[in-house]
A and B are shown apart, each in its own frame.
Chain A
């Protein structure tokens, strides 16, 4: 299904590239000399066994961790380190492995929160919520409502997020990330802990986001079936190093990947 997409992706421009990135925490090496790129409009999966450094990689990309070595170029700007607000303002949004929502707030307010960076009026204007600030809020609300419609969560719009089932919380989190109108969306295990039906729904939404908004997506996922179906290209990490990179079919039959997953002695 995704084969033509993959060849297309190869021709597209590079949105983000990491070059020779190494990251360590004290003596523990999380990433060693990892390089790969994410091209515009593709769905890029990062996979690997537990502790392979996948989440560390995402944290490096959105500036939460600062690598000791290596460079990150995003939209043509090369930096040694990304700072979180640069990443956010530059158009990188993410979801988290464990749901990180404001549990006491409604789904609507959570997604609205995703628009904060896009709001021009300062804190005090927003506080009085009057005149230009109100007009701005209406405009943003429209975008948020489009996202709510897109993710089919109208029925929980005003429900406190903490009271929602897990699958819906994940969807709200995706909504909040989408509210930033990101160029690059990082999804950290979007399907962890979901049942089959929820996984199918989530896969549908990820594909739709990619198709409908043209958002580039990088995702970490453990469910191999999902990864192989969704992604255009896959990069495989093991013990902090890159062991394979390519289209799903090539990666699936790669000996190093099979060994890493089946635990052959290194």
Chain B
């Protein structure tokens, strides 16, 4: 029975039934197991999910119950989501690398009835906190290794549950009809999933998304990027992250494309290469690592290869993006680019598993413009997007052909974005979440009176491109005394994009000018020193070297030049800077464990330097405590030079009517 076109299929189980009818024997999901790609077609997936689902109902899973899903990207864990949704139960994926204690909070808060987990590691974690989980009745696992001798009173394998379901379906002719009825009972406004956001502060919050939220967002995403059933996608990001849920689950079900699960987290690059993904998503870190790996390997290559690589990369830097953006390019450059495609770009893309890529996204953090351009110049359509769990991902994305390294694009289909008076980005879309689970107060705080969601990020629309630019978390954004917007992270990111600058701490809130403390990158600057005959004995000595200051000053001037072109940010150019005599370190509490700078603490500890930045002196003395790797502490005394910068003249911004 073919479904009528445009008929709204409003839940995932219904979509699955539709796909099993219309796409039948096309691949739906793959998993590399025992070194071979095992494929399930859409009708097979329906059979697996139905058996699983009926099995779950026999275990007592009811409408409204919550089911936890913990593990890496495996077909059965994705099936568990759909199997639960078919019964009207709500899947709650949990980050598999969280420690037992963090897991306990979510399992408890969400009142989990059944946990579907990957392996012994997760079973052990749950067992260790089981006395705190009163509602938990069953734990189901995918991988039996190490679990053979465990007490199986409350423990079952997914296979067993599916067998239970198959048995019931075979014995009772009514069972399938009952299951179909249960699927039909679900509707778009039902709760589809609860995703807990990790939350840098406080306890994680459970974001409730309805089927409508997820499915409409996914469909709009499909439309935006013209995704069809022919896409190839590899699922490797955490199940609990909204991105994976939309890209690997919702969009696969709505567009009908096949999702491939890697063999192991370590084999993703190799597996991606075998699959040849056409649609990909990765945080900037992954693109950075790939690039670093390439550069390191090229250093070891033969001289001929290295020269060829450098020549063609240089050429692609000049013309690659223009060719990708379909701008006019001279024939000669085009021919050389074509040759480069055969000799360098093609093989490189093959290495990355991106030979067939149509759309690649990066999001989550700012990506270095150099890195961004590198991939684009190879002909990879890398774009940026901005999203949130509360929006079922999509808020803004870059349309094809309008790509800039420092914007996150224009509002997605059906999304309405506006900027609040305090600079905060607000949005309204069909993806707007149904609220935080059991936390009406937080929900109310997040929504504005007219139904917009506060993102907590500060941003502005770039007057030149019309794209949204995200500058910082809105609570960190301050103002200079003359009222200029000051976004520390925005400045710091711009500075850190230079490989020579490892860390940057910007000051300026409530001050008359912006200033910065910098850390040099020992590896990058060290190798620069070697090439430039700069002799140094220690990090401290290198950091204080006048030639290093000279080089860093050029970077800062570059940042100022780029700020001058950016309207609202132009006034926050860096007036003075210094280079810190020691590396900022998490062991000294100057960075968080996730390597974010603690501005307040640094301003305190280096108080003398912070004062000197603003009192006009050209040198300051500092003595501070250093923690060595083995835990010993030592004192560090240094005199630090402070450098004045010239500000680049700019046109004062025309303030838009608020």
Contact = CB atoms under 8 A, between A and B. Distances in A.
Contacts of B145: 150, 208, 212
Say whether chain B's binding surface is mostly helix, strand, loop, or mixed.
Answer: loop
Nearest to A148: B35
Interface in B528-576: none
Interface stretch (B85-93, B262-270, B463-471): B262-270
B136 to A, nearest CB: 25
A210 B263 CA distance: 24
Contact of A146 (B34, B146, B266): B34
Contacts of B97: none
Interface stretch (A12-20, A39-47, A151-159, A256-264): A151-159
Contact of A155 (B33, B34, B36, B267): B267
Interface residues of B, number: 14
A149 B33 CA distance: 8
The residue in A142, A145, A155, A157 that gathers the most chain B C-beta atoms within 10 A of its C-beta is A155
B266 A142 contact: no
Chain A contact-residue range equals: 10 to 19
B149 interface: yes
B149 A154 contact: no
B125 to A, nearest CB: 15
Given A142-B34, A145-B34, A145-B35, A211 B146 contact: yes
Interface string B19-35: 00000000000001111
B148 A154 contact: no
B146 A154 contact: no
A150 B146 CA distance: 10
Contacts of B148: 211-212
Contacts of B32: 154
Interface string B140-156: 00000110110000000
Contacts of B146: 204, 207-208, 211-212
A152 B146 CA distance: 13
Contact of B264 (A141, A155, A207): A155
A142 B36 CA distance: 10
A154 B268 CA distance: 11
A181 to B, nearest CB: 16
A125 to B, nearest CB: 23
A241 to B, nearest CB: 37
Nearest to B149: A211
Interface in B260-303: 263-264, 266-267, 270
Interface string A140-173: 0110011011101011010000000000000000
B35 A155 contact: no
Contacts of B35: 141, 145, 148, 154, 157
Contacts of B34: 142, 145-146, 148-149
Contacts of B270: 155
Interface in A197-211: 204, 207-208, 211
Interface in B26-57: 32-36
A118 to B, nearest CB: 18
Contacts of A154: 32, 35, 263-264, 266-267
Nearest to B148: A211
Contacts of A207: 146
Contact of B266 (A150, A155, A211): A155
A155 B32 CA distance: 12
A154 B31 CA distance: 13
A44 B212 CA distance: 60
Interface in A130-146: 141-142, 145-146
Contacts of B264: 152, 154-155
Interface in A207-234: 207-208, 211-212
A162 to B, nearest CB: 16
A126 B140 CA distance: 44
Nearest to B33: A149
The residue in A145, A154, A157, A211 that gathers the most chain B C-beta atoms within 10 A of its C-beta is A154
Contacts of A212: 145-146, 148
A208 B119 CA distance: 13
Contacts of B267: 154-155
A225 to B, nearest CB: 20
A240 to B, nearest CB: 38
A212 B120 CA distance: 13
B497 to A, nearest CB: 31
A211 B263 CA distance: 24
A154 B35 CA distance: 7
Interface string A63-98: 000000000000000000000000000000000000
A214 to B, nearest CB: 10
A159 B266 CA distance: 13
A95 to B, nearest CB: 21
Nearest to A149: B34
A154 B270 CA distance: 11
The residue in B32, B35, B145, B263 that gathers the most chain A C-beta atoms within 10 A of its C-beta is B35
Nearest to A207: B146
A150 B33 CA distance: 11
A212 B33 CA distance: 19
Nearest to A146: B34
A34 to B, nearest CB: 33
A106 to B, nearest CB: 12
Contacts of A155: 263-264, 266-267, 270
Nearest to A145: B34
Contacts of A146: 34
Contacts of A141: 35
A133 to B, nearest CB: 20
A212 B145 CA distance: 7
Given A141-B35, A208-B145, A212-B148, 8 more contacts: A142-B34, A148-B35, A149-B33, A154-B264, A208-B146, A211-B149, A212-B145, A212-B146
28 contacts: A141-B35, A142-B34, A145-B34, A145-B36, A146-B34, A148-B34, A148-B35, A149-B33, A149-B34, A150-B145, A152-B264, A154-B32, A154-B35, A154-B263, A154-B266, A155-B263, A155-B264, A155-B266, A155-B267, A155-B270, A204-B146, A207-B146, A208-B145, A211-B146, A211-B148, A212-B145, A212-B146, A212-B148
Interface of A: 141-142, 145-146, 148-150, 152, 154-155, 157, 204, 207-208, 211-212
5 A-B pairs closest in CB distance: A155-B266, A145-B34, A155-B267, A145-B35, A154-B263
